[in-house]
Amino acid sequence: MGSIAVVDYGMGNLRSVAKALEHVDVRGRVEVTQNAARIRRADRVVFPGQGAIRDCMGELRRLELDEAVREAARNKPFLGICMGMQALLEFSDENGGVECLGLLPGRVRHFRDGFAEAGVPAPGKVPHMGWNAVRQTRTHPLWEGIADTTSFYFVHSYFVELLPDDLTVGEADYGVTFTAAVAQANIFAAQFHPEKSQQAGLALLANFSRWDGQMQVPLDQAR
């Protein structure tokens, strides 16, 4: 169990994430914080968020949290949610193009550009908002007890281009196929919102609260 720090950089429904974590981790301590030292001391770190990537990166730097987030993502069980997933990548097309934290390779694109490149009509409104099935492309401790193609709740206009098989652990479709969950070493990050995904989301958060940061399965093991 231990302590879980939820990174507060002024964006997203942080209290909902914290309450969901408290619900599944009643013996642990969940703290929403802007304090870099507390983030470094926590046993686990959650990096959530909603909004625009330029604001996200700007606030991380203004609050001097960017290095604390990088350190946590290298050294302890780390969960990125929505914007917290996109910010881990190298580059986002949002806001005219923004360099992100660069902890994972990959690019974030707007759905309309993805539809145009794929030559497909928009399957619905953008942002992509609502429930969507996630295919578990690789086994991971955070999928434990969650059936393949379980639906999770999404809210986003930008998507992560399909990443290599050794990084992607979940895919979803919305006109184009995109990486819905990514994992590398002690990092797990999801485009969907576990805190809004009812029992499946709570199960994933409970798995995270127990996770030791090890993949525990061969990188080439697929479902």
Catalytic residue among 128, 140, 156, 193: 193
- 128 is a catalytic site residue: no
pLDDT at 1: 60
- 23 is a catalytic site residue: no
| Total-model pTM | 0.94
The pair phi, psi for residue 56, each rounded to 5°, is -60, -55
**CATH code of the domain occupying 3-210:** 3.40.50.880
pLDDT at 222: 43
pLDDT at 83: 95
- 82 is a catalytic site residue: yes
Catalytic residue among 82, 100, 128, 156: 82
User: What burial class does residue 99 get, using C-beta atoms within 10 Å of its C-beta: 0-12 exposed, 13-18 middle, 19+ buried?
Assistant: exposed
The CA-based dihedral angle spanning residues 76, 19, 11, 133, taken in that order and rounded to the nearest 10 degrees: 80
Mean pLDDT by 10 residues, the chain (223 residues): 90 88 87 96 94 94 95 96 96 95 96 97 96 98 98 98 96 98 98 97 97 68 43
Query: Between the CA of residue 107 and those of 98, 128, 162, 221, what are the distances in Å?
Result: 10, 18, 9, 25
Residue spans per domain, the chain: 3-210
